[in-house]
Chain A
Amino acid sequence: MRVLLSLCAALSAAPFAPAADLRVYPPEIRIGGPNRTQQLLVVEEENGRAVRDLTAGARFTPSTDTVKVDAGGLLTANGAGDFKITVAVGEKTATVGGTVSGDKPGDWNFRNHVIPTLTRTGCNAGACHGALAGKGGLKLSLRGYDPETDWFVLTRQALARRVDLTAPADSLTLKKAVRKMPHGGGTRFTEDSPHYKVLLDWIRAGAPGPKADDAHVERLDVFPPAVLVDPKGPKGTFRAIVRAVYSDGAAEDVTRWARFGSAEELVARVSEDGVITPAGSGEAAITVGFGTKVTTLTVTAPFPNDVKAPVFAASPRNNFVDEFVLKKLQLLQIPPSEQCTDAEFIRRAYLDACGILPTPDEVTAFLADADPKKRARLVDTLLDHPAFVDYWSHKWSDLFLVSSRKLPQPAMWAFYRKLRQSVADNQPWDRLARDVLTASGSSLTNGAGNYFVLHKDVSELAETTSIAFLGMSIGCAKCHNHPLEKWTQDQYWAYANLFARVGLKNGDRAGEVLVQSKPDGDALHLRRGTAMPAAPLDGRPLPADSAADRRAYFADWLTAPDNPYFAKALVNRVWRNYMGRGLVEAEDDLRETNPPSNRALFDALAADFVKNRYDVKHLMRVILNSAAYQRSSTPLKENVADDRFYSRYLLRRLPGEVILDAYSDVTGVPTPFDRITSAGGDAITPIATYPAGTRAAQVPDSLATSRFLDAFGRAERVQTCSCERTSDASVSQALHLNNGHTLNDKLRDKNSAVGKWIAAGLTDEQIVDRVFLLALGRNPTTVEKRKFLDILAGAAKEGAQSRREAVEDFVWAVLTGREFLFNH
């Protein structure tokens, strides 16, 4: 079939490539000198994705003696010069050209070859000599982040026995690794391995150390760039090869040293040699690391469904979000669920946007409205709803750690008021970021200044800022190069130095701190003991003698339209709130080795957010109006396994604050917030800050005492991390709902809605209808109504008290049911 398609495409004059191509990787071969090697990869490719690895069956014919290629596709250079390789697979042929640039074998470089060898063989891993205290008297830097020290340790320490220049093969390093001598770490490699050869050659060459002008890796290329697995085809594996491109223009095959990992083991596994084995359906990122660089290769494994193109063509497209979502679903053969009902939509949208339930009147009016644009109108209404301000102020208070845990009450209120006003005014996200990061003056007058009071340590400030505004954690790089990311320790301290000139001083008023920028002060590199030139991540460094305000310089970089991280960090947070799962999970774990589930959509949303001047409500409007958001949560047989690609609305438990407020709304009994727990958790004292009727979402202090909120996973606001808030189910939640005071006391309260309904003479049927509309935003089904009416009628026969208890039990049953506790 593929051959036929190729033929058709070749015969047509269409300007696109044939559906199936024979491709050879790397597309252009560059080799430094004789004896250096390059693995060739031959694949069948469709639309830029490899669908079959044909390397094993390919025939390789070099044009000259400059190189030779073995049957497995390993090319070895013999001498300098240009060459061509003709690759044949069956009737198909392809040609690839290349150059061997040197005429003598190059030396192995300590930084670019020896360290990667030690890393690949596990010598400098955290469990071995890379441990903080080393192992067996040998301490190397973790994964080789400090080559200079490692070279000293290997060549100078232990009476220089680790490297024997007179008898290289007798070097302790080699004898231990091949276990010619006792070695706690076992055999790391054998004498015939390339790793042994690299180390031996390096020692024979005099064990030269790292030089300041060594070429450094500028980027990694991984081939093939993407893999598409045929779910109905024969099982096969794919080999990945990795090429490093250096700052001096050289390139080499570094597959043997690269680190491979799979972000989704259930979709694809990868061996340490880069052989990929598809394992299930979905999409997996194969992460590849070498030196301080990382990159990914995407493996797409469609579900074994047979969904016809018209299914996707007929699916509604309300805006650009749907184009990208449907394209991905079609690629993965996941059919989208139907659109949700109006009743589902109004409840869902109220809860996701405002954290409240719609009232029965609002539900009734919405269901009766025949306007085809009523959903869009409802979205506009919600974004201007007072509860929207409560809900999102609370959300940003989680992000910025607003609480009296570290802030005095007046300062906490000043900070909260700043965030609340920002939400109420729909302040552009870049403006809020700038206001926070460049805040000066009194922390009581300018509440944003409390951000610096909360994070007094320069490292903590730098790391919190990275998580809050860039959605990425760089804390690992404080002590060593980031193991999962490209950030180096040097970059960390250059970035941290941006925050080194913030001065804090007590003001005159209680709880007041004066925040100001200082003209001097530096953050010293933990290892080097010197200050790095202050520089944003991947940004231009500020000249050391610059008098510019470093915070303002950082804010300029952060909010520049071409900043690759800032807009995406916010887009992902908002997307996750509405869609139940971030395009990147966790929502504040944006990194190269954790790619989004739909990169094209992520890029488009971020670009749209920037284009609309960081208008948060615009972003929300786009998401809420998309057909993807408005899909039913009911899965189809073919999409029940999908929880990443938005083929249906993902069920999620409501946040504790939302549940508590909903209980107050349905029962008519507000929750009192009249006590506060000490930061140590050892004392509870009364407070009169919150007047009766204050909602949980309106309480900015995470120390306001509430066992219910604690049980339902509210954020403690100790560290900026999405992991602080949990939506997991727990036994304490079940016990709290079953036996706890919160809901039961509300139902029994003398002012409870239950008592009022009975006093007003509502019939059982009216009560059942009302409770369903209040709590679930829909009318009961005939079966549901019959069942509850029977129970209530039976209880009424035993007297008024019995009826009241039965109604309370009925309301309790609805309010503790899954349909109520989950947004759907």
Chain B
Amino acid sequence: MNPTDPGAPPPDGAPKPWHRPQQEHEQQAGGDAIANTDGPTGMGDAVSSGAADLVSGAADAAGAALEGAGAALDIAGGCAGGCADGCAGCSLALLVTLFAAAGTAMALFR
């Protein structure tokens, strides 16, 4: 029998990776599990892929938007804090800037 016979169990007795329960893969991946994805309903996709994304296709970008706050929260959760913080942070910053600009304009006007 060959030393790496396909049918043979690994020498250390560990199961082949595909024989391990799915939960083990999930635990092993931990919080980084989603790092390699674009995010299943990634907003980036909706913005970047142009005319084709006018469609509510597999990307489901439009769907996510239509589903409203719930979907948005899903996305935020899925992004493990990254883009959620970014969106909220940017929005807040924009608001502050707007108010500040408006205040300055009013002051100048007066």
Contacts and interface: CB of A to CB of B under 8 A. Distances in A.
Interface of A: 354, 356-357, 359, 385-387, 389-390, 404-411, 413-414, 416-417, 420, 444-445, 452-453, 455-461, 478, 496, 499-506, 509-511, 513, 518, 520-524, 526, 529, 661, 664-665, 668-670, 679, 688-695, 697-698, 700, 753
Contacts of A503: 60, 63
Interface string B12-34: 10111110001001101111111
A669 B11 CA distance: 12
A669 to B, nearest CB: 7
A406 B3 contact: no
B31 to A, nearest CB: 7
A692 B12 contact: yes
Contacts of A452: 58
A69 to B, nearest CB: 53
Contacts of B75: 506
B16 A457 contact: no
B70 to A, nearest CB: 9
B33 A409 contact: yes
A356 B2 contact: yes
Contact of B57 (A406, A461, A670, A698): A461
B77 interface: yes
B52 to A, nearest CB: 5
A205 B59 CA distance: 50
B37 A510 contact: no
B74 interface: yes
B35 interface: yes
Contacts of A458: 52-53, 55, 57-59
A511 B26 contact: yes
Among A386, A504, A661, A700, the most chain B Cβ lie within 10 Å of the Cβ of A504
A386 B77 CA distance: 41
A688 B14 CA distance: 11
Given A506-B41, A513-B40, A413 B58 contact: no
A383 to B, nearest CB: 14
30 contacts: A354-B6, A356-B6, A357-B2, A385-B6, A385-B7, A387-B6, A408-B34, A410-B22, A411-B33, A414-B25, A455-B58, A456-B40, A457-B57, A458-B53, A460-B58, A496-B55, A500-B55, A503-B60, A505-B40, A505-B41, A510-B31, A511-B26, A521-B55, A661-B4, A664-B2, A664-B4, A665-B4, A670-B4, A692-B10, A697-B6
Given A453-B37, A510-B31, A459 B52 contact: yes
Contacts of B33: 408-411, 510-511
Ranked nearest first, the 7 interchain pairs of A and B with the lowest CB-CB distance are: A458-B57, A521-B56, A510-B33, A506-B78, A511-B33, A386-B7, A387-B6
A405 B36 contact: yes
A444 B22 contact: yes
B60 to A, nearest CB: 5
A513 B36 CA distance: 13
Most A CB contacts (10 A, CB to CB) among B11, B40, B54, B78 go to B40
B28 A524 contact: no
B108 interface: no
Contact of A413 (B18, B30, B55, B59): B18
Contacts of B47: none
B6 A524 contact: no
Contact of B22 (A406, A407, A414): A414
A336 to B, nearest CB: 34
B17 A694 contact: yes
A359 to B, nearest CB: 6
Interface of B: 1-4, 6-8, 10-12, 14-18, 22, 25-26, 28-42, 45, 49, 51-60, 62-64, 71, 74-75, 77-78
Given A458-B55, A504-B41, A668 B60 contact: no
Nearest to A413: B25
A523 B62 CA distance: 11
B101 to A, nearest CB: 36
Given A456-B45, A691-B12, A413 B37 contact: no
Contacts of B22: 410, 413-414, 417, 444-445
A636 to B, nearest CB: 36
A334 B39 CA distance: 56
B55 A523 contact: yes
B42 to A, nearest CB: 7
A777 to B, nearest CB: 13
A390 B10 contact: no
A28 to B, nearest CB: 46
Contacts of B15: 691
B74 A665 contact: no
A354 B7 CA distance: 12
A219 B33 CA distance: 53
A420 B58 contact: no
Given A356-B2, A505-B40, A511 B34 contact: yes
A385 B7 CA distance: 8
B6 A504 contact: no
Contact of A524 (B3, B34, B51, B77): B51
Contact of A695 (B4, B18, B28, B51): B4
B29 A510 contact: yes
A139 to B, nearest CB: 18
B2 A693 contact: no
Contacts of A501: 56
A404 B29 CA distance: 11
Contacts of A414: 22, 25
Which of B6, B16, B34 has its CB near the most chain A CB atoms (within 10 A)? B6
A356 to B, nearest CB: 7
Given A500-B55, A506-B75, A409 B28 contact: yes
Given A413-B17, A691-B10, A456 B3 contact: no
A503 B63 CA distance: 7
B58 A499 contact: yes
B57 A499 contact: yes
A496 B39 CA distance: 22
Nearest to B55: A523
Contact of A461 (B10, B31, B51, B58): B58
Nearest to B8: A693
A502 B60 contact: yes
B36 A500 contact: no
A457 B44 CA distance: 11
Contact of B29 (A359, A409, A700): A409
Given A413-B22, A413-B25, A408 B37 contact: yes
A506 B74 contact: yes
A22 B55 CA distance: 57
B47 to A, nearest CB: 12
B26 A693 contact: no
A735 B97 CA distance: 60
A452 B75 CA distance: 17
Given A496-B57, A511-B33, 6 more contacts: A406-B36, A457-B49, A458-B59, A506-B41, A697-B6, A700-B18
A405 B36 CA distance: 6
B52 A457 contact: yes
B57 A408 contact: no
A533 to B, nearest CB: 14
Nearest to B30: A510
A693 B57 contact: no
Contacts of B3: 664-665, 668-670, 693, 753
Contacts of A407: 36-37
A665 B34 CA distance: 36
A495 to B, nearest CB: 13
B39 to A, nearest CB: 8
A81 B34 CA distance: 75
B37 A511 contact: yes
Contact of B63 (A513, A518, A689): A518
Contacts of A697: 6
B74 A408 contact: no
A452 to B, nearest CB: 6
Nearest to B15: A691
Contacts of B10: 691-694
A616 B75 CA distance: 40
